[in-house]
Amino acid sequence: MERRVCSSCSQVHYLNPRVIVGTLPIWEGKVLLCRRNIEPRLGFWTVPAGFLEMGESMAEGAIRETIEESRAAVAVRHLHGTYDITRIGQIYVLYVADMLSDHFEPTAESREVGLFGRDQIPWDQLAFKVVKQALLQYFDEPRPANGDPFGWTPD
């Protein structure tokens, strides 16, 4: 792999991928989606997610992004998946999270926020392929009687 190397000091200048963290916030079997109020993909639907910041864990960043984009308070349940988007240098890390109440609202980043069951999701209006992949994976996961693919039961 080619890397940029300073011709004066021979130091390697690394260009590393950006980490995107987010959640699939769940309330009564539905997932919370946000209609983007910012570019890219203004007006399209997505899960609450954004860039991981220095000094925070991936789960902390996912919770922060969820609050910033939807005002929904969540508790991370488990890692849902990681997704490599090498053509744009991004790694998505998404968690399944339980909403702590049914409160959510639009923000500067999301013009509309709503809960969707599988049959209600605007599949042709999703902002990114990775969001569609993550949602399909979530709804297609086998679940035991308590509804969680990992057997997790809330306290």
The answer to the question of residue 66 being in a domain is yes
Contacts of 48 (CB under 8 A, 6+ apart): 22, 23, 25, 32, 34, 65, 66, 68, 69, 70, 72, 110
Q: Hey, CA dihedral for 66, 70, 76, 79, is it positive or negative?
A: negative
The answer to the question of residue 116 being in a domain is yes
Q: Do 48 and 120 form a contact (C-beta atoms < 8 A)? A: no
The answer to the question of residue 82 being in a domain is yes
Q: Please check the confidence at residue 155 and state whether its pLDDT lies above 80.
A: no
What pLDDT does residue 12 have?
Answer: 87
What is the tally of structural domains in the chain? 1
The answer to the question of residue 2 being in a domain is no
Q: What are the tens digits of pLDDT across the range 46-98?
A: 999 999 999 999 999 999 999 999 999 999 999 999 999 999 999 999 999 99
- Assess whether the previous peptide bond of 17 is cis (omega < 30° from 0): no
The answer to the question of residue 21 being in a domain is yes
The answer to the question of residue 98 being in a domain is yes
* CATH number of the CATH domain containing 22: 3.90.79.10
Q: Please check the confidence at residue 1 and state whether its pLDDT lies above 80.
A: no
Q: What is the pTM of this model?
A: 0.87
For the ranges 95-109, 116-130, 133-147, which has the lowest average pLDDT? 133-147
The answer to the question of residue 149 being in a domain is no
Q: Please check the confidence at residue 13 and state whether its pLDDT lies above 90.
A: no
What pLDDT does residue 7 have?
Answer: 86
Contacts of 79 (CB under 8 A, 6+ apart): 93, 94, 95, 96
Q: Which residue range forms the structural domain that includes residue 30?
A: 13-140
The answer to the question of residue 111 being in a domain is yes
Q: Please check the confidence at residue 154 and state whether its pLDDT lies above 50.
A: no
